[in-house]
Amino acid sequence: MTYLLAGDIGGTKTILRLVQASQPNALGQAALKTQFERTYSSQAYPDLVPMVKEFLHQGSEAAGQIQPPVRACFAIAGPVVENTSSLTNLAWSLEGDRLKDELGLDRVELINDFEAIGYGVFGLTPSDIHTLQAGDADGNAPVAIIGAGTGLGQGFALCPGGQPLVFPSEGGHADFAPRSELEFQLMRYLLDKHQISRVSVERVVSGQGIVAIYQFLRDREFASETPAVAEAITTWERQTGLKTKTVDPAAVIAQAAAAGRDRLCQKAMEIFVSAYGAEAGNLALKLLPYGGLYVAGGIAAKNLPLLTAGAFSDAFTHKGRVSPLLDRVPVHIVLNPQVGLIGAALKAANS
């Protein structure tokens, strides 16, 4: 048995998990069993090293004598270049080699958090996903991953010989493609509002996109605002430029839409979900991911009824004469919020 350390590092919190890996099977896959896990406030530590040392000490006290990990993989909410990362919202500068030496490990690998999600989908159980479309699964075909959250992550994976290889992309920064007169008006609104020459799909399909769609409909007087939502959005707009905000406007809009008490929010989420499905379909056309397309990110899991109501799937397959190709793609919504942590552990096991 081998002990491994996995981590999901964000500007607000960090989750660490110690896992026990069995010997790889004939396909090179190792079974992973969680031995100890803790969540820490990232801001409370000057660096990752003292946090990990405290975690391992706590693990020994809580779980008895445990073997020290030999390898580690940390998913980082930020760019990773040559196994180094400087977190955007945290005064940490992480280098894999330094962490390896200071923690006494054989290897430390840093990967982007969306890349970790790509690995994590291979460790999910049936209860971790909701299948929108069963499709015709092919284990030798590519797997696609898309996830709207703060931004829009996209990537794909191949699994030759049973070992996943994940390739992140910058597909979220591709051009937004309007499909209706209302979406053309939305694009023009965003161009004028931000004084820009192009609109990326991430400006529409993301948490910020939900807010942008709401503002567009509000400013076009599509429907009247309800006082509670209006107050939340106005508070958020006043806090523009501040590091810490007291309101999550996308969540407020989504919750009001789900409750059926705000026509403006309902329409905003209708446009968002349709645009999300359309972009997922665009990714699927480029990859033909008959191994499955996984919709990750917090927005999908938290708004499952909205994504399963039909608009997402309709937009996903609405691709003209090639629509039948997408009928065959298995489409799954990831429900497990720790998919990135699972992916970091799998990456450590296979390093």
Among 86-90, 209-213, 220-224, 328-332, the range scoring the smallest mean pLDDT is 86-90
Residues 178 and 296 both lie in one domain: yes
Q: What is the pLDDT of residues 34-43, one digit of tens each?
A: 889 999 999 8
| DSSP reduced 3-state for 40 | strand
pLDDT score at 177: 95
pLDDT score at 62: 72
Q: Indicate whether 167 belongs to any domain.
A: no
Residues 298 and 343 both lie in one domain: no
Q: Indicate whether 295 belongs to any domain.
A: yes
Q: Indicate whether 44 belongs to any domain.
A: yes
- CA distances to 46, 179, 327 from 279, rounded to whole Å, are 39, 11, 15
pLDDT at 28 over 70: no
Token readout for 1 is 């048995």
Residues 316 and 345 both lie in one domain: no
Q: What is the pLDDT of residues 67-87, one digit of tens each?
A: 789 999 999 988 899 999 988
Residue 331: CB atoms within 10 A of its CB come to: 26
Q: Indicate whether 150 belongs to any domain.
A: no
Residues 275 and 192 both lie in one domain: yes
Among 107-121, 211-225, 242-256, the range scoring the smallest mean pLDDT is 242-256
Spatial contact of 275 and 316, defined as CB atoms under 8 Å apart: no
pLDDT at 63 over 70: no
Give the CA count within 13 Å in the CB-facing half-sphere of 182: 14
To the question of pTM greater than 0.85 for the whole model, the response is: yes
Residues 308 and 341 both lie in one domain: no
Pairwise pLDDT comparison (161 vs 93), residue with the higher score: 93
Q: Indicate whether 324 belongs to any domain.
A: yes
pLDDT at 163 over 60: yes
pLDDT band at 192; cut points 50, 70, 90 = very high
Q: Indicate whether 134 belongs to any domain.
A: no
pLDDT score at 328: 96
Residues 314 and 344 both lie in one domain: no
Q: Indicate whether 140 belongs to any domain.
A: no
Residue 131: CB atoms within 10 A of its CB come to: 13
The CATH number given to whatever domain includes residue 75 is: 3.30.420.40
Tell me the average pLDDT of the chain.
91
Residues 240 and 212 both lie in one domain: yes
Instruction: Say how far apart CA 26 and CA 47 lie, in whole Å.
Output: 39
Burial class (CB in 10 A: 0-12, 13-18, 19+), 6: buried
Spatial contact of 102 and 91, defined as CB atoms under 8 Å apart: no
Residues 293 and 346 both lie in one domain: no
Q: Dihedral (C-alpha) 101, 104, 109, 114: value to the nearest 10 degrees?
A: -120
pLDDT score at 60: 81
pLDDT at 25 over 60: no
Residues 202 and 262 both lie in one domain: yes
pLDDT score at 239: 82
- Which one, of 58, 186, 109, lies nearest residue 347 by Cα? 109
Mean pLDDT of 280-308: 95
Backbone angles phi, psi at 36, to 5 degrees: -160, 145
Token readout for 188 is 């023009």
pLDDT score at 141: 94
Residues 303 and 341 both lie in one domain: no
pLDDT band at 26; cut points 50, 70, 90 = very low
pLDDT band at 265; cut points 50, 70, 90 = very high
Domain count along the chain: 2
Residues 199 and 346 both lie in one domain: no
pLDDT score at 351: 75
Q: Indicate whether 143 belongs to any domain.
A: no
pLDDT band at 331; cut points 50, 70, 90 = very high
Beta strands in the chain (DSSP E): 2-9, 13-21, 32-41, 71-76, 84-86, 93-95, 107-112, 129-133, 143-148, 152-158, 165-169, 293-296, 331-334
Residues 221 and 120 both lie in one domain: no
Mean pLDDT of 20-40: 74
pLDDT score at 258: 92
Domain interval for residue 22 = 2-124+337-350
The CATH number given to whatever domain includes residue 287 is: 3.40.367.20
Mean pLDDT of 313-339: 96
pLDDT at 27 over 50: no
pLDDT score at 252: 94
Q: What is the pLDDT of residues 286-296, one digit of tens each?
A: 999 999 999 99
